[in-house]
Structure 1
Amino acid sequence: MQSRSDRNEWNEKNSKMNGIASTIVLSMTNNYFALFAISVLGATNYQVGLISSLPQIVGMAAMVLGTIIMGRLEEKKKFTSYSIFITRLFLIGMFFVMYLPLEYRAWVFVLLVGLMNLPGSISNLSWQSFIGDLIPDSRRSGFFSERNRVLTIAGMAITLAIGIVLQLFDKNSPLPFQVLFVLAFGFGMIEIFYLNRHIEVKKTTVEKKKINFGWDAYQHKPFIYFLVCGLFFNFGWQMAWPLFNIYNINEAHATGFWISLFTVGNQLGQILSFRWWGRMAEKYSNAKMLAFCAVGMGAAPTLNILSTNLVYLTLVNLFSGIFVAGTVLLLFNQLLEVSKEENRGSYISQYNILLAIIGFAAPQAGVYLLELTSMDFAMNTASVIRAASGAVFLWFYYHMKKSSFHNKVLSYEK
C-alpha cells in the first residue's frame, strides 16, 4: 500500500500530464473558434458574441445537474472521465460543419460550441471537486502555480506551432481548422488516460439518497462575500472577451499566425509570473493579491485599443498574461479557501452556476455596448469595471482579516 506522500506525488504527476493534454485540446480549439467563425463561416458580431456567452448559459443548466450528481458520488474519477469524453465528441461534430448548407454553418457551429459546454461544465465541476479532494491544503498554492506554469508552457508551444502552420493556408480555408478539431479529439483521449491514472480514496456519502442542490453553501458567510467580489470582477473580465476577438480580427486584421502570437504572448506572461503569484499568495493571502491583480487586468482593454499595430498588440497580450496568471490561480485558490471540505462540491457548483449567468450576460453586454456606442467606449467600460473590482477585493480582504481576528479572540476567551 502506498503512503500518503507517495500517493500525493503520483497524483500530482498525473495531474500535470492530464492538464498538459487538456491544455493542448483547448489550444487547438478554443483559441481559434472566433477566427474560424469569422474568416471561414462568415459569422456576424452577434454570433461571435454568442460563442463567448452561449456556453455559459448552457453551463448554468449543467451545473444544476452536476451539483445533484456530485452530491451522490462516492468516487468522482470515473464520472469525470465520461464527462470529458462526451465533451470531446463535439469536436468531431465541428469537423463536419463545412459539409452543411452555407446558410446553416455559422449557426450550427455556434450551437455546437454552446452545447459542448453541457458535458464540459459538468466535467469541469467534477474535476475541481475531484482535484480539490486529492491535493492537501498545504500544497495548493505551490502545486497549482507550478502546474499552471507547466500547462501554459505546453499551451504556448502548441499555439506557436499552430500559428506557423496556419501561415501555409489561405485564411478562408477550412482544412487546417478541421485537422485541428480531429487532432484535439485525439489529445482528449490522452487527457482521459492520465485522469484515470489518479489514485482516488473512496468516500462514504452521507444520506446518499437525498438530493442536494448545493444551497447549504449560502449558509457560509465567507463564501457569500467571495461570491459578490468574484462575480463583479468576472462581469468586467468577460464582457471584453468578444470585443478583443472582434477588434483583433476585424479592425487590426490579425491572421491565424498573429492570433497565435497574441496567445503565445499572453501565455509567456503567465509562465513568467505563475510562481511569483503563488509566493505572493502564500505571503499576503489570495484575497489581497486579487485586489492587485484586478487593477492590472483593468488596464488590458484600454491598452488594446490604443493601436492596431500587431506587434504592439502582442506586447499588450504579454502584459495582460501576467495578470491572467494571477486571476486563474488566485480565484480558484480563494474559492477552495472559503469552501468547507465536507461539502466542497456544493460551494464549487453554486459559484459556477452564478458564474455561468455572468458568463452569458457579460459578453452580450459587451457586444450590445459596442453596437450602441463604439469599440473605444465598450472597451474602456470593461476596464473601469475590472479596475473597480480591485477595491471590492480589497474590502473582502480586510473583512476576512477582521473576521479571522475576531474569531481568534473569541476562541482565546473561551
Structure 2
Amino acid sequence: MRTSLLRKNMRLSLWHGAFFTAATTIVTTFFPLFLIDYLHASAQLVGLSSALPALAALIASLVLMVRLPKTPALLSWTTHSFLATRLSYLLIAVAPWLTPHHAALAAVLILTVGNIPQTWGLMGWQTIIGHAIPPLVRESFFSYRSIVTTLVALVVSLVTGLITQWGGSHTGLFLKAFFILAAGLGIAEVITLARHRLPVRPPAATPVIPPIAWRAIWQNPVFVRYLVLSAFFNFGWQMSWPLFSLYQIGQAHATALWLGLFTVAALISQAISFPSWRALARRQGGMRALGISALGLASVPWLTVLSRNLWILTGVNFESGLFLSGVNLLLFTELLAHIPPAYRTQYIVMYNVALGAVAFIAPEFGIVALHQWHMHGAMVLSSIWRACGAITFLAIGTSVARKRAQIVRP
C-alpha cells in the first residue's frame, strides 16, 4: 500500500472515529435517562431496549449470510447504512410527539430498527479497515485512534450532561435537541467515511479466491474456539447492561450530569490505560492480555451495587474504564488475528451472528435474574460469569504462548 494512501486513510479514520463517537455517545449515554425519567419506561421495557436492538443486529447479520456486498460497492453500502442509522436519531427525538401515549415503546422500536443498518455499517467498516490499514500498523493505529475517540466521548458526555442538567425541568427538551445534534454529527461521520479509498491492486496480482461455504467456517478450530470464548464472556458482560441503567437512574437517582460524570470517569481511565493494554498484548500475547482485562471488568457489577453514593459510583466507573479499554481493543484485534484475511467478511458476519444471538438473550436473562434474585444477586451473577470467561481467555492464551515457546526453543 502506498504511504500517501495509508496516511490519508488513517487521517480520515481518525475523523470518522471522532464523529462516530460523538454521535453514538450522546445516544448510548443519555437514551436510558430519556427512556426512564422522561418517558417513564418499565423495567421490562428497559431490558428490551438492550435486547431488541441486539435482535435487530442478529437479523441484519443473517441477511448478510444470504447476500454479501461485493468489495467495490462495500464503501458505498457502508456509508448508506450508517446514514440510515443516524437519521433514526431524529425519529427518537420526535417520538413523544408522534406517539404521545406510547412514546417509550416507540423510542425503543425506533432504536431497534435503526440498529439493523448500524450492524451492516459496523461490519462493513470492520472489513474496510481490514483492507485500508495493514496488519503491521493496525494495533498501534487502533490504540492511538482509541485514545482520540475516548477524549471526544469525554468532552461530549461532559458537555451534554452539564447543559442538560442546566435545563432543569426542561431535561426532556434538551435531550431531544442533543439527539438531533447526534444526527447532524452522524452525517459528518458518513461524509468522512465516504472519502476513504481502498487500495487497488493490478488485476494480474490479484489472486482469484473462490467463495467459502458457511459450514466450512465452523470447521476452522481456531476461529470456533475464539467465537465460543467470546460468546460466553459476552453473555456475562451484557446481561448486566440494563441493570446498570436501572440501578444508577432508578435506585441511585443519577441525573444527566451524574450520567455524564460516570461516562467521563470511565473515559478518562480508558484514555490512560489504552497504551498499557497495547504494551501488555505485545509482551504477553493478545489472548492473555484480553483475559486480564476481562478479569478486571468482572469486578464492576459487584462493586456497583455496594453503594448508592454517586461519588462512589463515579469511582467504580473509573475503575471500569481501566479494564474496558483493554476488552474493547483486544476483542476486535484478536478477532482479526483469528480469521483468514481472504475470507475476512464472511468470518466477521458469522462472528456477529453468534454474538448477536448472545446480545439478544443476555439482557433479557439479566431482567429475569433481577426478578429472581433482586439487583444484588443479579449483579453478582454477572460478575461471576464474566470472571469465568476471563479465566478461560487467560488459560487459552497461556497455553498458546507455551506452545509457541516450545516451537521456538532449539
Q: Return the alpha-carbon distance in structure 1 between the equivalents of residues 86 and 235 of structure 2.
A: 28
Deviation digits for residues 178-225 of structure 1 (CA, Å, limit 9, x no counterpart): 1011111111111011111212124779589x7x67443222211111
Alignment of 1:13-412 (within 5 A): 13-70=11-68, 72-170=70-168, 173-202=171-200, 214-401=214-401, 404=404
Query: Secondary structure of the residue that 2:168 maps to in structure 1?
Result: coil
Gaps of 5+ in 2: none
Q: Return the alpha-carbon distance in structure 2 between the equivalents of residues 292 and 319 of structure 1.
A: 14
Paired residues of 2:69 and 2:77 also in contact (CA < 8 A): no
Q: Return the alpha-carbon distance in structure 2 between the equivalents of residues 11 and 123 of structure 1.
A: 17
Identity across matched positions, percent: 32
Q: Return the alpha-carbon distance in structure 2 between the equivalents of residues 266 and 16 of structure 1.
A: 21
Query: Secondary structure of the residue that 2:72 maps to in structure 1?
Result: coil
Q: Return the alpha-carbon distance in structure 1 between the equivalents of residues 277 and 367 of structure 2.
A: 32
- Are the structure 2 counterparts of residues 215 and 205 from structure 1 closer, same or farther at C-alpha, using a change threshold of 3 Å? farther
- Are the structure 2 counterparts of residues 267 and 396 from structure 1 closer, same or farther at C-alpha, using a change threshold of 3 Å? same
Query: Secondary structure of the residue that 2:101 maps to in structure 1?
Result: helix
Paired residues of 2:99 and 2:106 also in contact (CA < 8 A): no
Deviation digits for residues 233-276 of structure 1 (CA, Å, limit 9, x no counterpart): 10111011111000000110000110110011111110001111
Q: Return the alpha-carbon distance in structure 2 between the equivalents of residues 326 and 291 of structure 1.
A: 9
- Are the structure 2 counterparts of residues 235 and 102 from structure 1 closer, same or farther at C-alpha, using a change threshold of 3 Å? same
Give the total of aligned pairs. 406
Paired residues of 1:50 and 1:110 also in contact (CA < 8 A): yes
Paired residues of 2:164 and 2:171 also in contact (CA < 8 A): no
What is the TM-score normalised by the length of structure 2?
A: 0.94
Deviation digits for residues 68-106 of structure 1 (CA, Å, limit 9, x no counterpart): 443633342111111111111211111221113433111
Q: Return the alpha-carbon distance in structure 2 between the equivalents of residues 34 and 167 of structure 1.
A: 15
- Are the structure 2 counterparts of residues 252 and 344 from structure 1 closer, same or farther at C-alpha, using a change threshold of 3 Å? same
Q: Return the alpha-carbon distance in structure 2 between the equivalents of residues 85 and 312 of structure 1.
A: 38
Q: Return the alpha-carbon distance in structure 2 between the equivalents of residues 358 and 236 of structure 1.
A: 10
Kindly provide the amino acid, as one letter, of the partner of residue 42 in structure 1: H
Q: Return the alpha-carbon distance in structure 2 between the equivalents of residues 403 and 361 of structure 1.
A: 36
1:48 Cα deviation after fit: 0.5
1:403 Cα deviation after fit: 5.6
Paired residues of 1:94 and 1:109 also in contact (CA < 8 A): yes
Q: Return the alpha-carbon distance in structure 2 between the equivalents of residues 67 and 400 of structure 1.
A: 31
1:169 Cα deviation after fit: 1.9
RMSD (CA atoms): 2.0
Kindly provide the amino acid, as one letter, of the partner of residue 117 in structure 2: P
1:404 Cα deviation after fit: 4.7
- Are the structure 2 counterparts of residues 223 and 399 from structure 1 closer, same or farther at C-alpha, using a change threshold of 3 Å? farther
